[in-house]
Structure 1
Amino acid sequence: MKRFRCGDVVPGCSATFVGGEDDILVGVGEHAVRDHGLVEVPAELVLAVRGALVDA
């Protein structure tokens, strides 16, 4: 089980995701499009998210 806090990558965002790595990546992708206005999730963001995952 992992945890990701969006604010660790996007300052000021309070969204938090908990689950398996794949589930978190899907949720973060949807969140990035819906709440941060991204049209697609760049590979750099995926790497940043993976680097910010911690054990839950």
Structure 2
Amino acid sequence: MKAFRCGDVVPGCARTFTGTENEILAEVAQHARHDHGLAEVPDALVTQVRSAMVPA
């Protein structure tokens, strides 16, 4: 299990995610579309999210 805080990549966002790496990436992609207005999640952002994940 891993955890990710969106605020570690997008300052001011309090959303958190817990699960496997793939589960988190899927949830983050949906969150980025709905809450941050991104039509697509750039590869650079995926890399940042992966780097910011910590053991849960």
- TM-score tier after normalising by the smaller chain length: over 0.9
Q: TM-score, normalised by structure 2?
A: 0.99
Q: Which runs of 5+ in 1 are unaligned?
A: none
Query: May I ask how many residue pairs the two structures share in their alignment?
Result: 56
Q: Which runs of 5+ in 2 are unaligned?
A: none
In the TM superposition, structure 1's runs of 4+ consecutive aligned residues that sit over 6 Å from their partners are none
Q: TM-score, normalised by structure 1?
A: 0.99
RMSD: 0.2
Query: Residue 46 of structure 1 aligns to which amino acid in structure 2?
Result: V
- The 3-state SS of whatever aligns with 2:31 is helix
